[in-house]
Chain A
Amino acid sequence: DTEVTQTPKHLVMGMTNKKSLKCEQHMGHRAMYWYKQKAKKPPELMFVYSYEKLSINESVPSRFSPECPNSSLLNLHLHALQPEDSALYLCASRRRGENTGELFFGEGSRLTVL
């Protein structure tokens, strides 16, 4: 199983809503990532969890709240978002340790904030 599964695939929310994006992997990877991608732009790093602890927060606004309940799951909680937060949110996982390498990406959750 070499898949990263993201749900939902599409999400539309208002600026006062609270919603969550979910990501799951069963490859035994101990690093999990959230990236944000706008149209015609590269993935932009948001958060990294390493061994279920937050290791990188790229100065992301607090209206995005990550959570890593266990080594297979990664959530991104969304609250009071702005229309400019509309984007494709990509989850990725990566093996941790010597010669760490490839990021395995999910297909993304396309978020629209009205």
Chain B
Amino acid sequence: GENVEQHPSTLSVQEGDSAVIKCTYSDSASNYFPWYKQELGKGPQLIIDIRSNVGEKKDQRIAVTLNKTAKHFSLHITETQPEDSAVYFCAANSKTSYDKVIFGPGTSLSVIP
């Protein structure tokens, strides 16, 4: 079945620096790759996603890149702010198991003012 790995598990950056989180997936049929942010006491919320027919997508300070050959995708946050501190999960969705969305283990990001 689908397996998603994520690194690093914790990340601490100075405010204004960039943060990069990397994920790999196992199912070559995966075609949808979302990133979720979970703040304390809340449910995860989508921040950006990418489909397998696209190599890169950007939304203001957040960007995601996808390398289908290597089966990995990355989240890039630039000009980090304290409110970016949260747990970030990557996820993958396989077109052979349409409803199944599997999450990576998560990265706890701390942005130090």
Using CB atoms and an 8 Å cutoff, list the residues of chain A in contact with chain B.
4, 31, 33, 40-45, 48, 50, 55-56, 90, 92, 94, 99-103, 105-108
Question: Are A102 and B105 also in contact (CB < 8 A) when A31-B99, A45-B100, A107-B41 are?
Answer: no
- Roughly how many angstroms separate A99 CA and B52 CA in the complex, as a whole number? 11
How many of B's residues come within 8 Å of A, CB to CB?
23
Name the B residues within 8 Å of A48 (CB-CB). Answer: 99-100
Contact B103 A43 (CB under 8 A): yes
Closest 3 CB pairs of A and B: A105-B43, A42-B103, A48-B99
Q: A101-B34, A102-B46 are in contact. Are A42 and B99 (CB under 8 A)?
A: no
CB contacts (< 8 Å) of B104 on chain A: these are 42
B55 CB within 8 Å of chain A:
no
User: Which partner residue on chain B sits nearest A6 by CB separation?
Assistant: B43
How many Å lie between the Cα of A33 and that of B100 in the bound state?
A: 10
Q: From residue 23 to 57 of chain B, which have CB atoms closer than 8 A to chain A?
A: 32, 34, 36, 41-46, 49, 51
Q: Which one of A50, A94, A102, A108 lies within 8 Å of B43 (CB-CB)? A: A108
How far in angstroms is the closest Cβ of chain B from A31?
A: 6
Write the residues of chain B forming the contact surface with A, with a CB cutoff of 8 angstroms: 32, 34, 36, 41-46, 49, 51, 89, 97-106, 108
With A48-B100, A103-B101 given, is the CB distance from A42 to B46 under 8 Å? no
Minimum CB–CB distance from A2 to chain B (whole Å) comes to 11
Cβ of B44 and Cβ of A105 under 8 Å apart?
A: yes
* Cα(A106)–Cα(B43), bound, Å: 6
**Shortest Cβ distance from A58 into chain B, in angstroms?**
9
Which residue on chain A has the smallest CB distance to residue B98?
Answer: A100
| Between-chain CB contacts (< 8 Å), 20 pairs | A31-B99, A33-B99, A42-B103, A43-B89, A45-B101, A45-B102, A50-B98, A55-B99, A56-B97, A56-B99, A56-B100, A90-B43, A90-B44, A94-B99, A99-B51, A101-B32, A102-B49, A103-B46, A105-B44, A108-B42
